[in-house]
Amino acid sequence: MSDLLQPELLRKLEQIQLLTARRARSSLRGERRSRVRGLSVEFADHRGYVVGDDLRHLDWNLLGRLDRLFLKLYEEDRELPIRIFLDASESMNFGTPSKFTLARQIAAAVGYIGLCGFDRVSVEVFPAATDPLGAAQRRALRLVRGKRSSLGFFQNLGAVVPGGRADLNTALRRGALEDHQTGVAVVLSDFLDASGFEPGLTALVARGFEVVALQILSPEERDPTQFGDLRLVDSETGQEVDVTFGRYRLKAYQEGLERHVARIREFCSARGIRFLSVRSDADLGTLLLKDLRAGAVWS
Protein backbone atom coordinates (compact mmCIF):
# COMPACT_ATOMS: atom_id res chain seq x y z
CA MET A 1 0.00 0.00 0.00
CA SER A 2 2.82 2.33 0.76
CA ASP A 3 6.60 2.45 0.52
CA LEU A 4 6.70 4.55 3.63
CA LEU A 5 5.11 2.12 6.01
CA GLN A 6 4.91 -1.62 5.86
CA PRO A 7 1.41 -3.12 5.68
CA GLU A 8 1.89 -4.96 8.91
CA LEU A 9 2.84 -1.75 10.63
CA LEU A 10 -0.16 -0.03 9.09
CA ARG A 11 -2.43 -2.66 10.52
CA LYS A 12 -1.03 -2.05 13.93
CA LEU A 13 -1.33 1.68 13.53
CA GLU A 14 -5.02 1.28 12.82
CA GLN A 15 -5.47 0.18 16.42
CA ILE A 16 -3.88 3.35 17.72
CA GLN A 17 -5.63 6.52 18.63
CA LEU A 18 -4.03 9.83 19.17
CA LEU A 19 -4.25 11.00 22.74
CA THR A 20 -5.43 14.49 23.33
CA ALA A 21 -6.33 16.23 26.52
CA ARG A 22 -8.50 18.84 24.88
CA ARG A 23 -11.94 18.54 23.36
CA ALA A 24 -12.10 18.78 19.63
CA ARG A 25 -13.02 22.23 18.42
CA SER A 26 -13.59 21.41 14.82
CA SER A 27 -16.85 22.40 13.18
CA LEU A 28 -17.04 19.16 11.28
CA ARG A 29 -18.27 15.95 12.65
CA GLY A 30 -15.90 13.29 13.52
CA GLU A 31 -15.24 10.79 16.22
CA ARG A 32 -13.74 13.05 18.83
CA ARG A 33 -15.62 14.31 21.81
CA SER A 34 -16.28 18.01 21.68
CA ARG A 35 -17.92 20.67 23.78
CA VAL A 36 -20.55 21.11 21.11
CA ARG A 37 -23.94 19.56 21.89
CA GLY A 38 -25.28 17.45 19.13
CA LEU A 39 -26.13 13.96 18.17
CA SER A 40 -24.39 11.13 19.77
CA VAL A 41 -24.99 8.49 22.36
CA GLU A 42 -23.06 10.37 25.10
CA PHE A 43 -25.47 12.24 27.43
CA ALA A 44 -24.28 15.69 28.19
CA ASP A 45 -26.98 17.80 29.95
CA HIS A 46 -30.64 18.86 30.19
CA ARG A 47 -32.31 22.07 29.15
CA GLY A 48 -35.81 23.39 29.17
CA TYR A 49 -38.04 22.72 26.23
CA VAL A 50 -38.74 25.54 23.92
CA VAL A 51 -41.17 25.52 21.13
CA GLY A 52 -39.76 23.97 18.06
CA ASP A 53 -37.52 21.49 19.74
CA ASP A 54 -37.48 17.97 18.54
CA LEU A 55 -39.86 16.08 20.75
CA ARG A 56 -37.82 12.93 20.25
CA HIS A 57 -35.27 14.34 22.69
CA LEU A 58 -37.75 15.01 25.51
CA ASP A 59 -36.83 13.34 28.78
CA TRP A 60 -39.98 11.44 29.49
CA ASN A 61 -38.84 10.28 32.90
CA LEU A 62 -38.44 13.83 34.14
CA LEU A 63 -41.78 14.77 32.66
CA GLY A 64 -43.39 11.98 34.63
CA ARG A 65 -41.72 12.90 37.86
CA LEU A 66 -41.68 16.69 37.65
CA ASP A 67 -44.45 17.31 35.17
CA ARG A 68 -42.17 19.65 33.30
CA LEU A 69 -40.68 19.44 29.85
CA PHE A 70 -36.89 18.93 29.62
CA LEU A 71 -34.86 18.16 26.67
CA LYS A 72 -31.86 15.70 26.88
CA LEU A 73 -28.67 17.07 25.34
CA TYR A 74 -25.94 14.88 23.85
CA GLU A 75 -22.26 15.54 23.08
CA GLU A 76 -21.46 16.12 19.47
CA ASP A 77 -18.43 14.11 18.13
CA ARG A 78 -16.23 16.30 16.08
CA GLU A 79 -13.09 15.75 14.08
CA LEU A 80 -9.64 16.50 15.59
CA PRO A 81 -7.40 18.63 13.38
CA ILE A 82 -3.99 17.04 13.26
CA ARG A 83 -1.35 19.33 11.90
CA ILE A 84 2.03 17.89 11.05
CA PHE A 85 4.97 20.26 10.57
CA LEU A 86 7.51 18.38 8.49
CA ASP A 87 10.98 19.88 8.22
CA ALA A 88 12.13 19.17 4.66
CA SER A 89 15.16 21.39 4.65
CA GLU A 90 18.53 20.39 3.30
CA SER A 91 19.81 19.64 6.79
CA MET A 92 17.24 16.87 7.11
CA ASN A 93 18.74 15.16 4.11
CA PHE A 94 21.78 14.01 6.14
CA GLY A 95 22.46 10.85 7.96
CA THR A 96 22.31 7.16 7.20
CA PRO A 97 19.41 6.69 6.95
CA SER A 98 18.63 10.32 6.45
CA LYS A 99 16.76 12.23 9.04
CA PHE A 100 14.09 13.17 6.53
CA THR A 101 13.34 9.53 5.78
CA LEU A 102 12.45 8.89 9.40
CA ALA A 103 10.59 12.19 9.69
CA ARG A 104 8.50 11.36 6.67
CA GLN A 105 7.72 7.90 8.00
CA ILE A 106 6.64 9.34 11.32
CA ALA A 107 4.51 11.91 9.49
CA ALA A 108 2.94 9.13 7.48
CA ALA A 109 2.25 7.11 10.61
CA VAL A 110 0.73 10.05 12.46
CA GLY A 111 -1.31 10.98 9.44
CA TYR A 112 -2.52 7.43 8.95
CA ILE A 113 -3.56 7.18 12.58
CA GLY A 114 -5.46 10.44 12.18
CA LEU A 115 -7.14 9.37 8.98
CA CYS A 116 -8.18 6.09 10.57
CA GLY A 117 -9.67 8.08 13.44
CA PHE A 118 -11.71 10.26 11.09
CA ASP A 119 -9.55 13.21 11.95
CA ARG A 120 -8.47 15.94 9.63
CA VAL A 121 -4.83 15.62 8.81
CA SER A 122 -2.77 18.46 7.52
CA VAL A 123 0.91 18.26 6.70
CA GLU A 124 2.85 21.49 6.55
CA VAL A 125 6.08 20.86 4.67
CA PHE A 126 8.66 23.56 4.97
CA PRO A 127 10.45 25.14 3.27
CA ALA A 128 8.13 25.63 0.36
CA ALA A 129 8.83 23.76 -2.84
CA THR A 130 10.25 25.76 -5.65
CA ASP A 131 8.89 23.66 -8.51
CA PRO A 132 5.17 23.76 -9.40
CA LEU A 133 4.69 20.01 -9.17
CA GLY A 134 6.18 19.82 -5.77
CA ALA A 135 4.10 22.76 -4.67
CA ALA A 136 0.93 21.08 -5.87
CA GLN A 137 1.75 17.89 -4.06
CA ARG A 138 2.41 19.78 -0.92
CA ARG A 139 -0.86 21.65 -1.24
CA ALA A 140 -2.62 18.32 -1.49
CA LEU A 141 -1.17 17.42 1.89
CA ARG A 142 -2.69 20.44 3.55
CA LEU A 143 -6.09 18.85 4.01
CA VAL A 144 -6.70 15.13 4.06
CA ARG A 145 -9.72 13.35 5.55
CA GLY A 146 -10.80 9.78 5.74
CA LYS A 147 -8.97 6.53 5.55
CA ARG A 148 -9.67 6.25 1.89
CA SER A 149 -7.48 9.26 1.30
CA SER A 150 -4.52 7.59 2.88
CA LEU A 151 -3.15 6.22 -0.40
CA GLY A 152 -2.98 9.67 -1.95
CA PHE A 153 -1.69 10.97 1.30
CA PHE A 154 1.20 8.54 1.24
CA GLN A 155 1.94 9.20 -2.42
CA ASN A 156 2.09 12.92 -1.93
CA LEU A 157 4.17 12.55 1.17
CA GLY A 158 6.55 10.21 -0.57
CA ALA A 159 7.01 12.68 -3.37
CA VAL A 160 8.40 15.36 -1.09
CA VAL A 161 12.04 16.05 -1.86
CA PRO A 162 13.99 17.76 0.91
CA GLY A 163 16.05 20.78 0.11
CA GLY A 164 16.43 24.43 0.70
CA ARG A 165 16.81 26.51 3.77
CA ALA A 166 14.21 26.17 6.43
CA ASP A 167 13.00 28.69 8.92
CA LEU A 168 11.41 26.67 11.68
CA ASN A 169 10.03 29.60 13.59
CA THR A 170 8.40 31.17 10.58
CA ALA A 171 6.82 27.87 9.51
CA LEU A 172 5.38 27.18 12.96
CA ARG A 173 4.10 30.69 13.47
CA ARG A 174 2.43 30.73 10.10
CA GLY A 175 0.87 27.35 10.80
CA ALA A 176 -0.44 28.56 14.14
CA LEU A 177 -2.06 31.58 12.52
CA GLU A 178 -3.53 29.79 9.54
CA ASP A 179 -5.54 27.22 11.45
CA HIS A 180 -8.88 28.40 12.78
CA GLN A 181 -9.48 25.21 14.62
CA THR A 182 -6.69 24.05 16.81
CA GLY A 183 -5.88 20.45 17.53
CA VAL A 184 -2.74 18.42 17.71
CA ALA A 185 0.46 19.80 16.19
CA VAL A 186 3.28 17.40 15.52
CA VAL A 187 6.61 19.07 14.74
CA LEU A 188 9.20 16.88 13.02
CA SER A 189 12.57 18.60 12.75
CA ASP A 190 16.19 18.42 13.81
CA PHE A 191 15.78 21.71 15.69
CA LEU A 192 19.19 22.83 14.45
CA ASP A 193 18.01 26.16 13.22
CA ALA A 194 20.39 28.98 13.92
CA SER A 195 17.49 31.28 14.71
CA GLY A 196 16.22 28.92 17.38
CA PHE A 197 12.92 27.17 17.89
CA GLU A 198 11.35 28.95 20.82
CA PRO A 199 9.16 31.54 19.00
CA GLY A 200 7.61 28.93 16.75
CA LEU A 201 6.71 26.47 19.48
CA THR A 202 5.48 29.29 21.68
CA ALA A 203 3.17 30.44 18.90
CA LEU A 204 1.64 26.99 18.53
CA VAL A 205 1.08 26.62 22.25
CA ALA A 206 -0.37 30.08 22.48
CA ARG A 207 -2.78 29.32 19.65
CA GLY A 208 -4.09 26.35 21.61
CA PHE A 209 -2.39 23.50 19.87
CA GLU A 210 -1.47 20.41 21.76
CA VAL A 211 2.12 20.15 20.53
CA VAL A 212 4.27 17.08 20.11
CA ALA A 213 7.89 17.88 19.15
CA LEU A 214 10.07 15.17 17.71
CA GLN A 215 13.73 15.94 17.20
CA ILE A 216 15.50 13.71 14.72
CA LEU A 217 19.29 13.59 14.70
CA SER A 218 21.51 11.42 12.58
CA PRO A 219 24.15 9.07 14.10
CA GLU A 220 26.87 11.19 12.50
CA GLU A 221 25.60 14.19 14.36
CA ARG A 222 25.74 12.38 17.66
CA ASP A 223 29.12 10.73 17.07
CA PRO A 224 31.22 12.67 14.57
CA THR A 225 33.88 10.57 12.86
CA GLN A 226 35.78 13.23 10.97
CA PHE A 227 38.71 14.73 12.87
CA GLY A 228 41.50 17.11 12.18
CA ASP A 229 41.54 20.53 10.65
CA LEU A 230 38.16 20.80 8.98
CA ARG A 231 36.28 23.34 6.96
CA LEU A 232 32.63 22.80 7.73
CA VAL A 233 30.04 23.99 5.22
CA ASP A 234 26.53 24.59 6.47
CA SER A 235 24.21 22.62 4.14
CA GLU A 236 21.49 25.24 4.25
CA THR A 237 23.26 28.55 4.53
CA GLY A 238 26.51 27.60 2.85
CA GLN A 239 28.39 29.26 5.68
CA GLU A 240 31.93 27.97 6.14
CA VAL A 241 33.58 27.59 9.49
CA ASP A 242 37.07 26.29 10.23
CA VAL A 243 37.26 23.84 13.04
CA THR A 244 40.10 21.90 14.59
CA PHE A 245 38.50 18.86 16.02
CA GLY A 246 40.22 15.97 17.77
CA ARG A 247 39.10 12.89 19.57
CA TYR A 248 39.78 14.56 22.85
CA ARG A 249 37.06 17.06 21.99
CA LEU A 250 34.48 14.41 21.12
CA LYS A 251 33.26 14.28 24.65
CA ALA A 252 32.96 18.04 24.80
CA TYR A 253 31.00 17.98 21.53
CA GLN A 254 28.64 15.35 22.84
CA GLU A 255 28.19 17.27 26.05
CA GLY A 256 27.32 20.34 23.99
CA LEU A 257 24.81 18.35 21.98
CA GLU A 258 23.24 16.99 25.15
CA ARG A 259 22.96 20.49 26.52
CA HIS A 260 21.22 21.57 23.32
CA VAL A 261 18.73 18.70 23.58
CA ALA A 262 18.23 19.32 27.27
CA ARG A 263 17.47 22.94 26.57
CA ILE A 264 14.75 21.96 24.10
CA ARG A 265 13.36 19.41 26.51
CA GLU A 266 13.29 21.91 29.33
CA PHE A 267 11.59 24.48 27.14
CA CYS A 268 8.95 21.98 26.03
CA SER A 269 8.38 20.64 29.50
CA ALA A 270 7.69 24.13 30.79
CA ARG A 271 4.98 24.62 28.14
CA GLY A 272 3.29 21.22 28.22
CA ILE A 273 4.86 20.13 24.93
CA ARG A 274 5.64 16.48 24.64
CA PHE A 275 9.22 16.19 23.36
CA LEU A 276 11.18 13.27 22.12
CA SER A 277 14.65 13.15 20.56
CA VAL A 278 15.29 10.16 18.32
CA ARG A 279 18.09 8.92 16.10
CA SER A 280 17.47 8.63 12.42
CA ASP A 281 18.60 5.00 12.49
CA ALA A 282 16.08 4.10 15.16
CA ASP A 283 13.77 1.16 14.43
CA LEU A 284 10.51 2.59 13.14
CA GLY A 285 8.25 -0.07 14.66
CA THR A 286 9.80 0.28 18.07
CA LEU A 287 9.62 4.03 17.81
CA LEU A 288 5.97 4.15 16.80
CA LEU A 289 4.56 1.35 18.88
CA LYS A 290 6.68 1.69 21.95
CA ASP A 291 8.57 4.94 22.33
CA LEU A 292 5.80 7.28 21.19
CA ARG A 293 3.25 5.32 23.16
CA ALA A 294 5.45 5.58 26.21
CA GLY A 295 5.72 9.28 25.45
CA ALA A 296 1.90 9.53 25.72
CA VAL A 297 1.62 10.64 22.10
CA TRP A 298 -0.93 7.98 21.37
CA SER A 299 -2.45 4.94 23.01
Partner 1 sequence: MSLLSPWALWFALSLPVVVGFYLLRRRRISRVVPSTVLWQRFLAENEANAPFQRLRRHALLILQLAILALVVIALARPFRTGNRLQGSLQVLILDASASMQAVDESPNRFEAARRQALAMVDALGPASEGQEMIALVAGAQAEVRQSATTDKALLRRAIESARVTDTPTRLEEALRVAATLVKDRPGAEVHLFSDGAVVDLAGIDTLDLPLVFHGVGRRNRNLGLVSAEMKSNPEDPTQRALFVRVANPTPEAAEVPLTVRFDDEVVASRQVRVGPTNGVAEVFVVDQVRDGVFTINLDQADDLAVDNTVSVVSRLPRPVRILLVTRGNRFLERALRSAAPRVEVTVAASVRAEGVEADIVVLDDVVPGNWPRANVLAIHAVRPEWSPGRVGSLEAPVIVDWKSTHPLLRFVGFDAVQVAQSLEMPTPSWAVSLVESSRSSLVWAGEVDGQRTIWIGFDLLQSTWPLRVGFPIFIANAIEWLDPDRIRAAAETGRTAAPVQWLWKGPGSVPTALVTVPDGGIESLVPSEGTREFVFPDTTRQGVYRVEQGTNRWSFAVNLLDARETDLTPKESLDRGRRAPVAATRIQPASLEGWRWFALAGFGILLTEWWWFHRRTA
205: left (phi > 0), else alpha (psi -120 to 50), else beta? alpha
**Using CA atoms, how far apart are residues 111 and 100, in angstroms rounded to an integer?**
16
If the CB atoms of residues 54 and 229 are measured against partner 1, the closer one turns out to be: 229
- Asked whether 240 and 212 are in contact (CB, 8 A), the reply is no
Q: How far is the CB of 194 from partner 1 (least distance, A)?
A: 6
CA separation, residue 65 to residues 25, 44, 59 (Å): 36, 20, 10
**Using CA atoms, how far apart are residues 191 and 295, in angstroms rounded to an integer?**
19
Q: How far is the CB of 30 from partner 1 (least distance, A)?
A: 38
Closest C-alpha to 31, from 106, 71, 82: 82
If the CB atoms of residues 55 and 233 are measured against partner 1, the closer one turns out to be: 233
End-to-end CA distance of the chain: 24
Strands 70-78 and 81-87: unpaired
If the CB atoms of residues 79 and 221 are measured against partner 1, the closer one turns out to be: 221
If the CB atoms of residues 196 and 295 are measured against partner 1, the closer one turns out to be: 196
If the CB atoms of residues 161 and 243 are measured against partner 1, the closer one turns out to be: 243
Q: How far is the CB of 164 from partner 1 (least distance, A)?
A: 13
Q: How far is the CB of 94 from partner 1 (least distance, A)?
A: 4
Q: How far is the CB of 245 from partner 1 (least distance, A)?
A: 6
Q: How far is the CB of 57 from partner 1 (least distance, A)?
A: 59
**Site residues for partner 1 per CB under 8 A:** 90-92, 94-95, 99, 190, 192-194, 218, 221, 226-237, 239-249, 252-253, 256-257, 260
**Using CA atoms, how far apart are residues 272 and 10, in angstroms rounded to an integer?**
29
150 CB-near residues (< 8 Å, 6+ apart):
1, 2, 111, 112, 115, 116, 144
If the CB atoms of residues 64 and 238 are measured against partner 1, the closer one turns out to be: 238
| Cis peptide bond prior to 162, omega within 30° of 0 | no
Q: How far is the CB of 291 from partner 1 (least distance, A)?
A: 22
Q: How far is the CB of 197 from partner 1 (least distance, A)?
A: 11
Report the sign of the C-alpha dihedral through residues 106, 32, 185, 111, in that order. positive
If the CB atoms of residues 70 and 197 are measured against partner 1, the closer one turns out to be: 197
If the CB atoms of residues 67 and 242 are measured against partner 1, the closer one turns out to be: 242
Tell me which DSSP letter residue 129 carries. P
263 CB-near residues (< 8 Å, 6+ apart):
none
